[in-house]
Amino acid sequence: MGEYCNEDLSCFPANELRFSKHVHDNVHGNIYLDPLCLKFIDTEQFQRLRELKQLGVTNMVYPGAVHSRFEHSLGVYWLAGETVQRLKTFQGMELGIDNHDLQTVRLAGLLHDIGHGPFSHMFEREFLPKVISGCQWSHELMSINMIDYIVDTHHIDVDAKMLKRVKDMILASTEVSELKGNAEKRFLYDIVANGRNGIDVDKFDYIVRDSRACGLGCNFQFQRLTEPMRVIDNEICYPAKEYRTVHKLFATRADLCGTVYMHPKKMAIELMIVDAMVKANNVLEISSMINDPSQYWKLDDTILKTIERSPDPELAEAKELILRLSRRHLYQFCNEYAVPKDKIDHFKPITPEDIICFSEEDIAVTNVKIDLARGRENPLECINFYKDYNSAEKFVIPEDRVSHLLPTTYQEMIVRVYAKKPELVEAVSEAFENFQMRTYGIKAQVLM
């Protein structure tokens, strides 16, 4: 993947460039860091992101996947700035884009993951629900709290209005977002975390970065979207001829979900880490740290080493699980099946107790959902296009005008079962197949 804008410094005012720094990124080339963003970067809270692997424990399956949230955040910062600069160059007078907007979006890109927990999304999706009933915590909301904490702790001089907009941009893809469709310069809120149609620079960076780190090819080129994009009626639109590129964005992400993010062995390792952290929670009080930024920022992937090296006898069970990881004595993947398409809408997550004769102490069940970012909906239905630069009208491409070679199903649900003890693999596999027969009348596929 070529560099995006290696030496274009036009997005930096002359007086700002003197005080900027640059780092060389293996995806985007030279990234120039502006003075305000450097004030956030040069804090212990932001530097913590170096200790959070972008893909959690994926490096135990793909050894090269050791890149961190730190470099991803720099990448999103850079792409966010380049995106606004391009709009400013071609439509700046029309849209009223100024340097204040540019700085705001760059800062949102830099800080969008500042509240992330250990081991990628596992922390909030798998661990916290097991130790806090009805937990509503999210890393986006924690990012907002962490930003306030950093500003107050390090006395960073930043405009209050800018900071409010930064927070809104980070929350733009979440259910708690209060953005309205007619918000001033609404299109700026779709650049970092796009809740409107899912096309954002966060995805652009991690798709390319993750593919490269895992040694996988990536034929999605985000430049084909960022270079010709334009704003129509307060919304970023794309040339109609690039609808395949848009689809490729979501298809590439879905492919990464199946081959990397939700790889069966990687998920077995995550299940073991979740169990270890649950067993260690009472001693280390991990869950008590999630609402206090002054404590939370100290929590990162090194927590496994903390457990492993602790002499506390109450951590013996957790330490044993981590030792099993080191010796590759993993929970054993037994089987999986794809939920029939006509059953997905009414699918109820499968639990260990649903597999007769087994409990959570014996087996683990995962319900894996893979989609094209919009659930069962066609992602193209949420995206507006334009015909050419002489056109001021935006439109959605109807399904009957889309290539028949593109899929007509946009979501799948896969149920997997793991045996926590090697001697149970055969019995668990048989019980799982019987469960499949009882539920759907067909035998589960065997993928050992």
Q: Helices (DSSP H) in 171-290: which residue ranges?
A: 201-213, 223-226, 243-256, 264-284
How many Cβ atoms sit within 10 Å of the Cβ of residue 360?
Answer: 13
The confidence score (pLDDT) of residue 372 equals 82
Measuring CA to CA, which residue among 248, 79, 239, 46 is closest to residue 153?
46
Is the predicted pLDDT of residue 379 greater than 90, yes or no? no
Question: pLDDT tens digits, residue range 108-137?
Answer: 999 999 999 999 999 999 999 999 998 889
* pLDDT, tens only, 37-88: 999 999 999 999 999 999 999 999 999 999 999 999 999 999 999 999 999 9
Express each pLDDT in 157-187 by its tens digit: 999 999 999 999 999 988 777 776 557 899 9
Q: Which residue has the higher pLDDT, 438 or 261?
A: 261
**Whether pLDDT at 346 is above 60:** yes
Mean pLDDT of the chain: 90
What is the structure's pLDDT at 341? 85
**What count of other Cβ atoms lies within 10 Å of the Cβ of residue 154?**
14
Going from the C-alpha of 96 to that of each of 40, 84, 166, 189, 274, the distances in angstroms are: 27, 12, 18, 15, 48
List C-alpha distances in Å: 172 to 92, 128, 195.
Answer: 22, 23, 6
pLDDT (tens digit per residue) in 193-203: 999 999 999 99
As a whole number of angstroms, the distance between CA 410 and CA 379 comes to: 8
Task: Answer for the pair 433, 444: CB distance below 8 angstroms, yes or no.
Answer: yes
The Cα–Cα gap between 368 and 35 comes to 42
According to the model, what pLDDT value does residue 7 have? 47
Which pLDDT belongs to residue 98? 95
- pLDDT score, position 223: 96
Mean pLDDT of 349-375: 88
Helix (H, G, I), strand (E, B) or coil at 368: strand
**pLDDT exceeds 90 at position 360:** no
Distance CA(223)–CA(79), nearest Å, equals 10
Residues annotated as catalytic (active site), given as ranges: 139
- What pLDDT shows up at residue 1? 40
Contact criterion met (CB below 8 Å) for 17 and 32: yes
For residue 109, the SS3 value is helix
Let me know: does 236 contact 187? Beta carbons within 8 Å.
yes
Averaged pLDDT, 277-295: 96
Higher pLDDT, 442 or 77: 77
Q: In this predicted structure, what is the pLDDT of residue 182?
A: 57
**Residue 148 has what pLDDT?**
98
Torsion of CA 161, 167, 172, 174, to 10 degrees: -150
What domains appear along the chain, each with residue ranges and CATH number?
14-265 (1.10.3210.10)
- Whole-prediction pTM: 0.92
Specify the pLDDT at position 99.
94
Burial of 240 (0-12, 13-18, 19+ CB in 10 A): middle
Type and span of the H or E element at 153: helix 139-154
| 444 vs 270 pLDDT, higher one | 270
Say which residue, 5 or 348, is predicted with more confidence: 348
Instruction: Give the side-chain half-sphere CA count within 13 A for 323.
Output: 9
pLDDT at 399: 77
C-alpha gyration radius of the chain: 23
| pLDDT at residue 12 greater than cutoff 70 | no
What size, in residues, is the chain? 448
The maximal CA–CA distance of the chain, rounded, in angstroms, is 72
- Least confident among 6-15, 295-304, 363-372, 407-416: 6-15
